[in-house]
Amino acid sequence: MHAEIIAIGDELTSGQRLDTNSRWLSQQLGDLGIQTARHTTIGDSLSDNVEALQRAVARAEVVVCTGGLGPTLDDLTRQAMADAFQLPLELDQESLDKIVAMFASRNREMPENNRVQAMFPRGSQIVPNPHGSAPGIDLQVAAPQQARTGESPGNVNRSCRVFALPGVPAEMRQMWLETVAPRLELLLGSQLGRLHYHAVKVFGIGESDVEVKLPQLIARQRTPTVGITVSRATITLRVAGRATDAATFQHQIAPTLGEIESALGDLVFGAGDDELEHVVARNLKQQGRTLACVEVGAASWISDWLLKVDEPQCRCFAGGVAFPNRSAAERWLEREPAAESKTITSGCGEMENASETLEDERWTAIARLAAERFGAELALVVGVYPSVKEMECTNGTFDFVFALATSTTVHLERRAMGGHPDVLGPRVAKTGLDIVRRYLANEGLTRNGLANNGQ
Amino acid sequence: MHAEIIAIGDELTSGQRLDTNSRWLSQQLGDLGIQTARHTTIGDSLSDNVEALQRAVARAEVVVCTGGLGPTLDDLTRQAMADAFQLPLELDQESLDKIVAMFASRNREMPENNRVQAMFPRGSQIVPNPHGSAPGIDLQVAAPQQARTGESPGNVNRSCRVFALPGVPAEMRQMWLETVAPRLELLLGSQLGRLHYHAVKVFGIGESDVEVKLPQLIARQRTPTVGITVSRATITLRVAGRATDAATFQHQIAPTLGEIESALGDLVFGAGDDELEHVVARNLKQQGRTLACVEVGAASWISDWLLKVDEPQCRCFAGGVAFPNRSAAERWLEREPAAESKTITSGCGEMENASETLEDERWTAIARLAAERFGAELALVVGVYPSVKEMECTNGTFDFVFALATSTTVHLERRAMGGHPDVLGPRVAKTGLDIVRRYLANEGLTRNGLANNGQ
């Protein structure tokens, strides 16, 4: 079964707005096991809309339109469906009543224009829109002929299911999840079971190394299938299979999850939508500990992530400091009379030379000072994030310092890392978070334990 | 003249990747005065590619394809062009030599697969790709007939210019800017002059209020045209006109810029790609001053922006602190023995009640402490950014505090602000930056001066 998506609006074809709906719908269709063959984006032109609809229903079994359901003259999706399939538009009184009531609840009278939003091509089902004035359309149409290549021809009685949803992403998504997806699942029949997913999250290894460690797992014909994606150095292994219910699916995938775990060990940090910051925040909370963070350079990734971990009164993150460069961080230290007197102990082994020792002592002191000033049990120092300009000028690697102050000592290590400017910063920050994760998991850490995980 | 864009790749139709190329190309075509009528996204299927190409050239005068130029079997754009227009693929020796040399410079031998990247449909011009192995294709084809409605029919000899570019955004953009855009400008002829742009950046007023203050400016038929866009509470007025050179364009738009300035006054903060952080950083640098920043709540926007202002050793930003909530910030203050003894002076007028006074005194002390600890002349405190959850639960407004410590005093003000969760945080942060901008511009600020700018 193939789908096509039609996104409608001059603001999309002109480039004024980025279309994110088509991608989201493709992913959702994929989750139902329906492959999307084409996205078409057209402006607010009736003839383009009619043509695009007719061609799409001739090729696909499911067509999803977004946009063009508003009350103004340039919202043409209803009319285009009526014209394309030669169906009259009819008023749905219930929809009209709802639109009138929605305006009334906002102390406004419904403008006459909005009446058109209660008009549907004859034979449509309605897709309710809980948070907007435009209901969606669900219409089964007879499709002239199968035009896709490579499929059995002569399927004369084929039909196509056309859905029209608003362009506002929040409304569209809710309507999809609440109404369209369940109707498509019904259409697909449930004998095979629906697609279930389980994501395994991995950090500290490259994509190609995962493939080397798990060669047979990524094979296309495998059941369950395992897909691999990478987002800013975090690897997601997505295990997918059809099952009648979640428990059956979990049973099916247990051997696969076992293989992954035994091959990757503690490179696996979480599941589902977990990111490293969620795992770190969860573990801190469970252990009743708090973390402060000092980031040096052109970014403050870790503080950002921990501030956003969605607990308004997050009690695990004590706060973060960001310095634009090392000397600013060192001046902070110098202005602290208390810091000077601290005994400096580094968790490191031998030092290369005196100036590196001195530098490491200062990083160590910065970590200690942060723990103290933020009243945190743990303080992580990460630096120095290069600026975009520095990354673009240097194709090579940069040296990074990671220092974790605990109640008893400061563990410090250096790593050389490089990569694409879009990825290097997050990868460095995640390396820092991963050090905290491993410390919390092991209640301590050794230099060897960390070094074994080098990329 | 109309254009269509074809984006190619299974990773796009499946939703694995978001297509940003089509939007970017639409904007670029728009800058040349060419309107994009359609985006089509198809997977790696030869028949779909051939069909999409044939239909696009029948409707449009310019077709731009991205993707499918790689060396692997699923890269089909070359073959699709050859099939669609019945042209043989021919080897271009110069391109082949370049590909071989590129591999040699990386100490690798060219895999045999890559040879296909030097094959072009007969009659093509080459679009050089300075940073990748896939050159682009530029092909003029005879187009069967004009299928777009509303245009003069019977134009039998019409032709269409087809460009094929790689899908990697950085390569595609460079090839567009260096080769495709100049060729299209040549095609369009230069008698009208090319389109020039000037952007005026505005903060502290809503989009509809700009329209009220400048009603005649946004009219569609005006010359030069003025477009208005909003991005996270920053308004851009984009003045556009055709001119033979930049100086003529500046002369043409001078009266329009004058109108904007007299209507909006110092709500205008910059031009071109300026954001508030660029203006603040520039002014700090000019005045030899430094700024520290304390952000409280679920984000650290201002520190992020100032860290990224692209000067690796930015000497204007002394550093930033982020606290997850007010009590964390207050504990920071309490742990500072020095802070307690400071005399607290607020720049505010009368206080509503005692607890607010106390709270304001603490905000004031936090601003002072930040200036001292970071060794900065100025310190800005902004809080409390609500979390996404808090914003979603409350549809109303939140109270925010802005405190700016200078060498002589601390100015403090409160504002109630609300809005969409995606916009509220940046708007609050920009309000803080704007307070710094106005202070630097005026070498001082009064409570009234700020209050007049309330939204």
Read off the pLDDT of each residue in A254-280 and give the average, rounded to a whole number. Answer: 95
At residue B311 the predicted structure's pLDDT band, cuts being 50, 70 and 90, is low
Q: What is the SS3 assignment for B364?
A: helix
Residue with tokens 């003249």: B1
Q: Is 60 exceeded by the pLDDT of residue A283? A: yes
Mean pLDDT of the A413-418 span: 92
Nearest to B310 among A37, A307, A389 (CB): A389
Q: What is the pLDDT of residue A109?
A: 84
Residue A436: pLDDT over 90: yes
Instruction: Quick: pLDDT tens for A80-125.
Output: 999 999 999 999 999 999 989 888 887 788 888 889 999 999 999 9
Convert the pLDDT of each residue in B275-288 to its tens digit: 999 999 999 998 99
Q: Which residues of A touch B40 (CB under 8 A)?
A: 38-41
Among the ranges given (A20-29, A51-60, B311-320), the one the predictor scored with the smallest mean pLDDT: B311-320
**A317: nearest CA in chain B?**
B324
- The DSSP secondary-structure symbol of B34 reads -
The answer to whether the Cβ–Cβ distance between A389 and B14 falls below 8 Å is no
| Band of residue B193 on the pLDDT scale cut at 50, 70, 90 | low
Residue A455: pLDDT band with limits 50, 70, 90: very low
* pLDDT for A47 beyond 90: yes
Contact criterion met (CB < 8 Å) for B26 and A37: no
Model confidence band, residue A419 (pLDDT cutoffs 50, 70, 90): confident
Q: Which residues contact A76 (CB under 8 A, 6 or more apart)?
A: A8, A44, A45, A46, A49, A68
**Contact call for A299 and B307, based on CB within 8 A:** yes
Token pair, residue A247, equals 């428990």
Between strands A234-243 and A225-231, the pairing is antiparallel
ipTM for the whole complex: 0.72
DSSP symbol at B111: P
Considering chain A, what percentage of its residues have pLDDT values greater than 70? Answer: 87
A382 backbone dihedrals φ, ψ, rounded to 5°: -130, 135
Residue of chain A whose Cα is closest to the Cα of B7: A39
Say yes or no for a CB contact (<8 Å) between A149 and B45. yes
Q: Are A305 and A232 a contacting pair, CB within 8 Å?
A: no
- Whether B314 and B296 have beta carbons less than 8 Å apart is answered as no
So what's the pLDDT on residue A294? Answer: 98
Give the CA count within 13 Å in the CB-facing half-sphere of A260.
Answer: 27
In this prediction, residue A376 has a pLDDT band, given cuts at 50, 70 and 90, of: very high
Asked if residue A343 has pLDDT above 60, the reply is: no
3-state secondary structure of A125: strand
Neighbours of A365 (CB within 10 A): 23
Nearest to A379 by CA among A298, A443, A302, A446: A302
Lowest mean pLDDT among A297-301, B2-6, B109-113: B109-113
Residue B251 has pLDDT above 90, yes or no: yes
In angstroms, rounded to a whole number, what is the distance separating the alpha carbons of residues B18 and B15?
A: 7
- Looking at A39-53, A329-343, B406-420, which range is the least confident one? A329-343
- The answer to whether B381 touches B402, Cβ cutoff 8 Å, is yes
Q: Which residues of chain A make contact with B331, given a CB cutoff of 8 A?
A: 375
Alpha helices in B76-168 (DSSP H): 77-85, 93-105
pLDDT given at position B245: 84
Measured at the alpha carbon of residue A116, what is the angle toward residues A115 and A119, in degrees to the nearest 5? 110
Distance from CA of B334 to the nearest CA of A (A): 10
> How high is the mean pLDDT of chain A?
86
Of A18, A312, A388, the CB nearest to B390: A312
Asked if residue A341 has pLDDT above 60, the reply is no
In which residue are the tokens 């999840």 written? Answer: A177
For residue A212 the two structure tokens come to 């080397």
What integer pLDDT is reported at residue A235 of this predicted model? 92
Query: Which positions in chain A touch B37 (Cβ < 8 Å)?
Result: 13, 42-43, 45, 48
Residue B225 is predicted with a pLDDT of 81
Q: Give the pLDDT band of residue B455 (cuts 50, 70, 90).
A: very low
Distance CA A379, CA A369 (A): 9
For A333, name the nearest residue in chain B, comparing CA atoms only.
B373
Is the pLDDT at A152 greater than 90? The verdict is no
Across the interface, which of B15, B30, B332 has its CB nearest the CB of A14? B30
Residue B214 has pLDDT above 50, yes or no: yes
Coarse DSSP helix, strand, coil percentages of chain A, rounded to the nearest 5 percent:
45, 25, 30
Count contacts between A and B (CB, < 8 Å): 211
Mutate to test the interface with A, among B38, B171, B333, B366 (most CBs of A within 10 A): B38
Chain A residues within 8 A of B387 when measuring between CB atoms: 308, 310-312
Mutate to test the interface with A, among B13, B308, B317 (most CBs of A within 10 A): B13
Average pLDDT, rounded, for chain B: 86
**Cβ pair B19:A17 closer than 8 A:** no
How far apart are the CA of B8 and the nearest CA of chain A, in angstroms?
A: 10
Q: Is the pLDDT of residue A142 over 70?
A: yes
pLDDT range class, residue A269, cuts 50, 70, 90: very high
Say which residue, A335 or B166, is predicted with more confidence.
Answer: B166
SS3 A404: strand
Q: How confident is the model over A178-220, as pLDDT tens digits? A: 999 999 988 887 556 677 889 999 999 987 788 888 888 766 5
Encoding tokens for residue A316?
Answer: 């695990």
The angle subtended at Cα A133 by Cα A130 and Cα A137, nearest 5°, is 80
- Give the containing element (helix H, strand E) for B2: strand B2-8
Q: Is the pLDDT of residue A254 over 60?
A: yes
Q: What is the pLDDT of residue B220?
A: 57
- Least confident segment among A301-310, A346-355, B193-202, B309-318: A346-355
d(CA A400, CA A434): 14
Candidates A4, A10, A12, A13: best to mutate against B (most CBs of B within 10 A) is A13
**How many Å lie between the alpha carbon of B69 and the closest alpha carbon of chain A?**
19
Of B400, B412, B381, the closest CA to residue B455 belongs to: B400
Q: Sort out which chain B residues have CB atoms less than 8 A from A304's CB and list them.
A: 299-300, 304
Structure tokens at B360: 């304001």
Quick check: A325 and B318 CB within 8 A?
no
- Sign for the CA dihedral angle at A387, A388, A394, A397 comes to positive
Q: Quick: pLDDT tens for B116-157.
A: 999 999 999 999 998 777 899 999 999 876 545 555 555 557
The predicted pLDDT at position A329 comes to 94
Measured between CA atoms, the residue of chain B closest to residue A4 is B13
Q: Do A335 and B372 touch (CB under 8 A)?
A: yes
The answer to which of A54-68, A324-338, B73-87, B163-177 has the lowest mean pLDDT is: A324-338
**What strands, in cross-sheet order, belong to the sheet with A225-231?**
A225-231, A234-243, A194-203, A268-271
**Are B322 and A303 inside 8 Å of each other by CB?**
yes
Instruction: Please give the radius of gyration of chain A, using alpha carbons only, rounded to the nearest integer.
Output: 28
pLDDT at A444: 45
Q: Tell me the domains of chain A and their CATH numbers.
A: 2-188 (3.40.980.10), 194-271 (3.30.70.2860), 276-451 (3.90.950.20)
CB atoms closer than 10 angstroms to residue A27:
13
Q: How many CB atoms lie within 10 A of CB A415?
A: 16
Instruction: Tell me the per-residue pLDDT of B229-239, one tens digit each, with 9 for 90 and over.
Output: 788 889 999 88
Residue A153 has pLDDT above 70, yes or no: no
Are residues A375 and B13, on separate chains, in Cβ contact within 8 Å?
no
Task: Answer positive or negative: Cα dihedral of B200, B205, B208, B210.
Answer: negative
| Residue B280 phi, psi (nearest 5) | -65, -45
What pLDDT shows up at residue B431? 97
- Whether B322 sits inside 8 A of A324 (CB atoms) is no
Nearest in space to A455 (alpha carbons), one of A217, A203, A211: A203
